[in-house]
Structure 1
Amino acid sequence: MTEFEAGLNRLPEPLRQELAQYWESFNPAASAVGVPLPTGPLLEPLITVWAGSEFVARACIRDPALLADLLSSGDLTTPFAPGEYAARLDRQVADTADETGLAVALRRFRRREMMRIAWRDLAGLAGLEETLGDLSELAEVAVSTALDRLHGWQCRRFGVPGDAEGQPQRLVVLGMGKLGGGELNFSSDIDLIFAYPCQGQTHGAKVISNEEFFRRLGQRLIKILAEPTADGFVFRVDMRLRPFGDAGPLAISFAAFEDYYQNHGRDWERYAMIKARCIAGDREAGARLLEELRPFVYRRYLDYGAFAALRGMKALIAQEVERKGMRRNIKLGPGGIREIEFIGQAFQLVYGGRDPVLRQRSILRVLDHLAVSGRLPDSAVSSLKQAYEFLRRVENRLQAWADQQTHNLPEDELAQLRLAVAMNYPDWAAFRLELTRHGEAVLQQFAQVFGGAAEPDSESDGNALARLWPGNPGEDRAQRLLSEHGFEEPARAWNQLQALKTGFSYRSMESRGRERLDALLPQVLQAVAASPQPTATLDRILKLLEAVARRSVYLALLTDHPHALAHLVKLCAASGWISKHLARFPLLLDDLLNPALLYAPLDRQQLAMELDRQLARVPTNDAEELLNTLRYFKQAQVLRVAAADVSGAMPLMIVSDHLTGIAEALLRKVLELAWSDVLPKFGPPCCVVAGVPRQAWFAIVAYGKLGGIELNYGSDLDLVFLHDSAGEQQVTTGLRPIDNATFFAKLVQRMIYWLTTRTGAGDLYEVDTRLRPSGRAGLLVSSFEAFAEYQQHQAWTWEHQALARARIVAGPAALAERFQTIRRAVLQRERDPVVLRQEVCAMRERMRTELDASTATVFDLKQGRGGIADIEFMVQYQILANAHRYPDLLIFTDNIRQIDGLERFDVLSIAHAARLRHAYRGLRRRIHRLTLQEQPAQIPADEARAERENVIRVWRQLMEGDTAIEHP
């Protein structure tokens, strides 16, 4: 038994005879050209490869020297470095003088390298990504090299094509499909589009238009690549993806190209352009062209209509598969490669306008990002990637057998066994079992992503409400139907529906948007009917739908994702504030798709990481996108807090902690951005203190609700800005030096710009700077020395009250400690308690006179007697009166922990502290709930009477000297 025959024994019997025939043909061919037969370790991979590829076996028989060269060079066992193909092909075509010689060189190069790629793949020496990448680079290099030479030869005949100013023009070749994505399979067509920058003519002896020049050049390029010769072909070329398809010009100017996609581009062309990449010619111009087309492919808004469009495309493909009996097709059949690509590309089309990471061409990288971003579960992405890699390996083995473009599983038993063995399975049954497993996983994920809304049961009780829209059942019947389904004010609910139907928003919608709304409203009515207050909830949702009607993609989101609609109804039923928040910022509707994230606010560390992650996706120097990203981050994080809040999963104090954390994360980032804006212009601010030069730094002090860690929805920020520049030579050290005070003023102005500029995504926060030294009359930013001087010698008592709630929220730790030292020194000053009480009471009475909205029937929760402000003033009075004796009273800035401290040091009795804590929490909780319902902070006068009376009782004893013992 020969060594070759012994090697065959590891293969199933039906395959041995086939390989024995190859060997019998190879022996004399190798001997004829003096090529030694492979032996030893070279023989095992040869048997494996020949068993999987007749193409490789026939190539070895036809040209044994080629196999000998590949073996001796080490190319079969070594991956190529980037650029290796281009360098090798350049050497091979260096001496070609005409198209005939170029065609021969390209075909021989292609045969050698395809044999090498197939060998490494089948022998298990290369992973899938290397194989697909090598095939793509081989095609790209062949196109680019051929184009360069053809362009030069054609320029000799007609002259160089130029624009109106005579600047040279080059053809731009866009690779589409798997070539564009760097994922070309073994025997694929290459999809190309030809374009050129602008109209003009050649500058030579025989003048022709640029259009004619590039049309001829494109024809010659296609011929040299695709025309079969004695040496075969290089790559089959498909030009049908160009504008207007086969009916369109072969090469098109950039202007006409852009006009086509703007006015005629269809959904499937958006899908196709995801993969577009300039692979040859003027690559710089090609990059500009693709950038111009980016808004066509990736919409700035979240384009949920992409799900429906791709679902429609898949349905058409499925019909064609059934019609042509293609269920064995691993690309287009059920659970095939196309379904995996559609899943990834649907998310790209929906989110790519806002998430640049999704604008990449590799489906595997796209799937990775969908897992990282939480848009698909890790388990789903893992199963999709495993299926994709399995199916692409099957695809390559099907095509590597005879170098033919096929995606159909074989029906012949021998071919089935051959494929199974090439995929490392012992038989067809084992292979088929694994194929079925992957296909079912893909089908499951495809159904979850593209399943859409379930069709309502025509006999179901809920479907009776569907007759209300878009039909017109008559007022009496409609109201009776609404009443039967729990609408407490059926006449009002019917009027709301009629107002929407007859209103401008509905009547002016384009047909697609109206169809989407007509499909959505029956689902809305059914979902709203199950809510606690259907009429009020319907009113909120209809207003939201009217606000987003012109962007019907949001209607598509809710129609295609019933669970998102369910969460929307839940949130709108719980809070008018949330419904208006979503109506103002409909981008947030995207968050309804992932309830696991929607109801789980981030902690402070997570907030900072997520903000950095989102900002990292913003293109450099895109200030508008940066503003919008900051604002969307804020709106999305606040929505998360509100959703968790109304779900009952979060106590009031924790809600404020989260809202405060969001504000602090954004303030720190805005300070960082402002530094990066101002620093390059003027250089760092420096100063010389006691002869030692150093950089000056900056800090943000938070007062009020932010300082007290008690932010509510919609709270503004009370801020004071401080810098530590001092001593001599207080100037910046850049090319345009300015004094440090001016530098920090510009820094603050830039921060306020980042915080308050209103865009389509709203603003970040309203900023109040009136608590700075000297108020509106003072400088916008002060030095620490000036701040300390003002607080010690000029500040009013009410300003020291405010200082009790102040803390540093952004800036170096050293400045935070310095601020605390100043704050302690000011607040620990010993004060006359009688004078202090008089001043605090006078300020409280003045505030009450100016701000209290209470009446005989209405109580103002904030400013009314016995309300929030009374509690805060009492706490601040006691802090100022006692901090010189108990410095630890100054550790915290929030009211509850300050009350705890006053109780711990016996400044407040246990009873007083308990009454104030209970009242403060209860009143704040009411304010909080009213905010979520978009109501003023007022309640009927007979509500919360016990809490108010307790606060008034404590006020009288502490602030008015009433020592009488009062019992509840």
Structure 2
Amino acid sequence: MTLDGAAEGRSGSLQGRLARLGFADAALAVRLLSDPGLVGLGTDAVVDLSLAADPDLALATLSRIAETGDPAARALVAELDEDEESRRRVLTVLGASVALGDHLVRHPGDWTVLRAHDEGAPDFAPVDVVRSELLRAVGADPRATPPVASGSGTEVLSALRVAYRRRLLAIAAADLADGAAFVEVSAALADLADGTLEAALAIARSEHPDASDLVRIAVLALGKCGGHELNYISDVDVVYVVEPRDGVDETEAIRAGTRLAQSLMRACNAPTPEGSIWEVDPNLRPEGKSGALVRTLASYDGYYRRWASTWEFQALLKARPAAGDLDLGAAFVDLVTPFVWSAADRPNFVEDVQAMRRRVEENVPAKDADRQLKLGSGGLRDVEFSVQLLQLVHGRSDVMLHSSTTMTALESLATWGYVGREDASNLAQSYAFLRTLEHRIQLHRLRRTHVVPDSDVALRHIARSMGMRTDPVAELNDAWKKHRREVRRLHEKLFYRPLLNAVARLDAGEARLTHEAARQRLEALGYVDPAGALRNLEALTSGVTRRAAIQRTLLPVMLGWFAGAPNPDAGLLAFRRMSDSLGSTPWYLRLLRDESLAAQRLATILASSRYASDLLMRAPEGVTMLADDDELVPRTREALDAEALAAARRYEDPEVAVAAVRALRRRELFRTAVAELLGLAQVDDAGVALSAIAGATITGALEIAERAVTAERGSALPTRFLVVAMGRFGGGELGFASDADVLFVHDPLPGADDRDAHEAALAVAAELRRLLMIPTPDPALEVDASLRPEGRNGPLVRTIASYASYYEKWSSAWEAQALLRAEPVAGDDALGREFVAIIDPLRYPEGGIGESDVREIRRLKARMEAERLPRGADPGLHTKLGRGGLSDVEWVAQLITLQHGHAVPALRTTRTVPALDGAVAAGLLEAEDAEHLASAWRMATRVRDAVMLVKGRASDMVPTDTRDLAAVSQVLGYPPGESGALLDDYRRITRRARGVVERVFYA
């Protein structure tokens, strides 16, 4: 024996080389290679031995075969030196499977099935060839109907096992040596099982020669065999269906069928000198172990109609004729198919399947849980249950999903849009890895196991059989953990997807969304214009594109979600427009399909709010926020300022830069609107968020305006500039329809010319307002400076010295009142602090305001109520100026603050409700009165915002139009049909507040 072309003189040197080639027991290998039967093996054969998963096992088994002295064994050894491809296939199988090696020791002649086949020849024999081969092995004529074995004794059973393992050798060679995909290997194993069942049935008929005259019998494969995805060693799940032949009593036929079924199982299960094959498991039959072993079609029909559990229909998904009377088997499949694809109509179907998966996982023994390949977390069952659940829910309306094979079904789910392509690809890769690992574990000793060994020696052999060579154990453990994590992640994403529950709750006709079903459902759901809605549906779902397929999955559910909102017709139309805009964008429909919370929220928003829909139409990518509650939390002013300034500084062109700032505002307005519509924010939070958005927008626009004016002047600005928020803006209480009331303040730099500084400041203010009002798809922000000294007649911009002088000499009570909500919002921080120092003595005067100022404020308030309320408006329903409305509450808080703000620090706030709380704490207002006022203020604010959200345009009136009132009340959380309760609540709450106003403000 030589390894390098020269005689190897010393066994020690040979032993070292064998050790380096990967033999664990090199000394034994030297002895075996010196045996007479193997002494002729050349260098190439020894090198190929070293490439086997377990070189020592391959050599030891080869030695045992040679020791038999059988001529076939000698032919095998000779072939190993002569044919490289045959040698590779033989040694690969011998190094991976003890059980198949043992078979070759007993039957050396079977090695010929491992020979390299001709190029272009199929890797696996066709099922009819396999069936004929196994029937002939038991002495049955494959052409006879029905085939009957020549005997039934141990010799015949052993012959079946020998033929079975001979064919198994060929499958293993294609798997291990030729790299056949596991789906092909599993299908070949299922074909081999079919042939085995047919041969076993032929043996059963030989044991009961009269039975075939009494009964037709079909063997239906279920489980992995039924799905053409069988393991190397696995129970073969079956059910038996029988029909009496003409003139035969049904009871007698069932007894005959039972005898045949029992004999068939013994033919496969019984121990013989050649071992057994696998267990035939009939426990998926009706009533399980306690049920009848065989049934007629009528009996199955009665059981499945009345008594079957959800899991039984899931099992029947994989039913197919495997042996016996195939026409009868096909009739059984035709019988059960409608039951399978209507199973999801059962109450709590999805929850039942999910609960069953959890029970399976909980019953995994703790000692095996971390290494359980099949039933544990991230195991094969996670994939299979996920795919089957998706099939059963969506397959009611889509026959393209009616496959019994996991990988085929997964591909169909991806092709037709029910699962994302990337998710399906990752799941398929992980499933292929786990199934291949399962095959390698089972193949070693042909034992039914799904537990990954914990021995490094065993893991090394398995890893090498899977092509891992550098650090096999580490590579295998890493890959297994990675795929296990990925399977679990995708299982939890797909298996517990809320959209499944929603689709399952639809009846099959609704889920199919046929033209007639859609029309009827639209009418039943209350769409005002069913014909128009149907046209939108047809536009969304027509065609064979992936986009249309996903829409057909989403829309049956979304129709109900639209209908649960105030304006389903508008919601569906908006969804069509958005889908036309984004339908070809990969993430859009994927998000709605995979994150059904996002789809449900989108439907609610589109059918509830013209305002939010318009914002979303301008930038549909905002839909990504809907999948996560955290994305709907208002952002802080600091974060918004930082982003606005970054956007402003990113572009030189002022209009391009401000477009980026306004896009930021639009996105944040949408975020806040959605939080309001979905009930995720309180009314006070919305006001703060909207004020922060406006402040950040002005901050960004001011940066751009100052830069533009500087560029136009050709020199730095000669003044510091400040924007002061006023009114609801300064109070952090903006609504969705509010303008931004402001004052513009500047302070010339030392040495600057006052006129030049004023012109520069005026240019900045004008440019800021212009930039924020440029017509663009994003909503404009009107910056209103009407609250400045002297109102619209006064200068737009004043120096801080001018403000100080004016307030000292000319300020009236209403201006002091207006300054209660003044808050620096953008510009020079130091200037802002200086401005506050000037106005604080005015708005929080020592000793409070005098009685004449109080009378003046009361007269002004009364005049506003009399003169500014729109003609014909119901004073009880005007949210701003009406009785108990915003103005009533705010003026109460402001009067108390003017009177006591200097002495009570808690009153020194620009916000209304905190000021009321401060008044209560100081004993200036009864707690009950403050509660009535705060409730009215919040109610009026909510109604005002809801009107804007629903209609997309501002109004200060509580709507009285039936449809508008219904929409606003539903947005505010009132149940459909109870819009009158909103009017009742509004009148009651504001009436109580008005009573407080009359006692506290006008007393």
TM-score, with structure 2 as normaliser:
0.46
Q: Is the radius of gyration larger for structure 1 or structure 2?
A: 2
Q: Structure 1 length normalisation: TM-score?
A: 0.48
